[in-house]
């Protein structure tokens, strides 16, 4: 096994989470050198069976968020297993869980009990709707996409609301949890004490809706579905070319000027209806057909090549395999293989303490014997 030089080397994470938000967070921590012990119930993490698709009989959902971890299966109703879980929490630097708020108290694994024996613990709880009035509400990403308002923003203006194509708020909550964990570890370095971090999907959603939630709380404006259009920019959407659609973006007046130069429509820049971004946005119905007419002259790949060369943001609409292939073409090396299991590379590059890729996603209780022996030593 290669030497662990990750920036989180020496940090022990007791991972009592399952499904997506917590496991995604702990995989990123593990990639950065943390020793993550994945605690599973006797039946294992639910995502082990969320299939298809599968690889060698294991769900790719599970494989995608559980590398670099060691697995131990513990039945918290069994006294010996519970003692092992409590000892793991006592030794850990970080504990992360996504049980229903208060659900671990009966096992002596709630924050107050764990912190009484381990004052330095950074204890992260992930829930759907917080530990107050929303504590009893199940926390599924799709529920939060609906309740937060995201689905009201997704889809055609005259069509039904749609969910995002991924569990976007689970991922976001996992990232927010990691920000909190790293901040609390930094604080512990000065104070010597850990703390309890709480993250919930609804708060992550409202934060992650950024300009849309700001429109509500600061602008007294309720956003609405606009299909692929942007409420504050134009062009910023797919536009048809000779052989298919291309995402075309003019994020500022300079980019619009370059776009018009490449399209061969320089007269549009001086048209008072289109001079400034706010003008283009207000007059998008007049500008769109003029851009579409120019784009019909060539293919999307030809426009992509020339517009990018001119500094105009644009993009073809790929399937996911095309996205992976494009990242590979750019030299981003998006795929890593660990123990024969391909996965997506950690998204952060470090100049001195690179991520590690040592352990494939573990089988259920694969490391149980060695972890139990260590906890008794």
The single residue listed with the structure tokens 């921590």 is 29
DSSP states along 60-89: HHHHTT-TTEEEEE--TTSHHHHHHHHHHH
Pairing assessment for the beta strands 35-40 and 12-16 based on DSSP bridges: parallel
* C-alpha distances out from residue 4 to 33, 35, 358, Å: 6, 10, 9
Q: Please answer whether residues 354 and 6 qualify as being in contact, where contact means their C-beta atoms are separated by less than 8 angstroms.
A: yes
> Which residues neighbour 77 within 8 Å (Cβ) at sequence distance 6 or greater?
none
Identify which of 74, 18, 70 has the alpha carbon closest to the alpha carbon of residue 339: 70
> Which residues neighbour 146 within 8 Å (Cβ) at sequence distance 6 or greater?
161, 163
Identify which of 173, 220, 42, 193 has the alpha carbon closest to the alpha carbon of residue 118: 193
Handedness of CA 205, 207, 208, 210 (dihedral sign): positive
Q: Give the integer Cα–Cα distance in Å for 308 and 262.
A: 10
Helices and strands, counts by H and E, the chain: 14, 13
> Which residues neighbour 363 within 8 Å (Cβ) at sequence distance 6 or greater?
71
The single residue listed with the structure tokens 């070319």 is 241
The single residue listed with the structure tokens 């820049």 is 269
Q: Please answer whether residues 212 and 223 qualify as being in contact, where contact means their C-beta atoms are separated by less than 8 angstroms.
A: yes
Q: Please answer whether residues 3 and 353 qualify as being in contact, where contact means their C-beta atoms are separated by less than 8 angstroms.
A: no
Among 15, 31, 170, 365, the one annotated catalytic: 170
Strand, coil or helix: 103: coil
Q: Give the integer Cα–Cα distance in Å for 61 and 39.
A: 18
**Is 365 a catalytic site residue?**
no
CB atoms within 10 A of CB 340: 8
Q: Give the integer Cα–Cα distance in Å for 278 and 97.
A: 46
H or E element at residue 249: strand 245-249
Q: Known catalytic residues?
A: 170
């Amino acid at each position: 096994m290669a030497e662990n030089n990750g920036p989180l080397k020496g940090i022990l994470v007791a991972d009592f989470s399952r499904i997506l938000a917590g496991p995604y967070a702990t995989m990123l921590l593990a990639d950065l050198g943390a020793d993550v012990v994945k605690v599973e119930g006797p039946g294992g993490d639910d995502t082990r069976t969320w299939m298809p698709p599968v690889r060698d009989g294991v769900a790719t959902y599970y494989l995608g968020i559980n590398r670099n971890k060691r697995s131990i299966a513990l039945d918290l109703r069994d006294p010996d297993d519970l003692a092992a879980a409590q000892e793991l929490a006592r030794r850990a630097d970080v504990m992360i869980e996504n049980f229903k708020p208060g659900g671990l108290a009966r096992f002596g694994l709630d924050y107050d009990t764990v912190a009484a024996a381990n004052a330095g613990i950074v204890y992260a709880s992930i829930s759907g709707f917080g530990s107050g009035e929303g504590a009893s509400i199940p926390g599924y990403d799709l529920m939060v996409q609906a309740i937060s308002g995201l689905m009201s923003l997704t889809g055609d203006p005259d069509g039904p609301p749609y969910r995002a194509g991924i569990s976007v708020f689970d991922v976001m909550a996992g990232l927010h949890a990691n920000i909190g964990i790293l901040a609390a570890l930094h604080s512990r370095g000065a104070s010597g004490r850990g703390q309890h971090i709480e993250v919930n999907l609804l708060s992550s959603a409202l934060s992650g809706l950024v300009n849309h939630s700001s429109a509500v709380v600061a602008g007294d404006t309720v956003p609405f579905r606009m299909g692929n259009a942007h409420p504050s920019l134009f062009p910023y959407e797919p536009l048809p070319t000779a052989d298919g659609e291309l995402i075309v973006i003019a994020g500022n007046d300079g980019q619009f000027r370059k776009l018009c130069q490449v399209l061969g429509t320089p007269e549009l820049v001086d048209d008072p209806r289109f001079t400034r971004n706010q003008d283009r946005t207000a007059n998008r119905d007049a500008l769109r057909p003029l851009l579409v007419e120019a784009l019909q002259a060539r293919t999307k790949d030809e426009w992509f090549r020339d517009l990018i060369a001119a500094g105009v943001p644009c993009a073809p609409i790929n399937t996911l395999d095309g996205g992976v292939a494009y990242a590979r073409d750019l030299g981003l090396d998006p795929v890593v293989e660990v123990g024969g299991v391909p996965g997506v590379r950690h998204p952060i590059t470090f100049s001195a303490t690179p991520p590690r890729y040592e352990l494939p996603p573990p089988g259920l209780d694969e490391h149980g014997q060695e972890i139990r022996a260590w906890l008794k030593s």
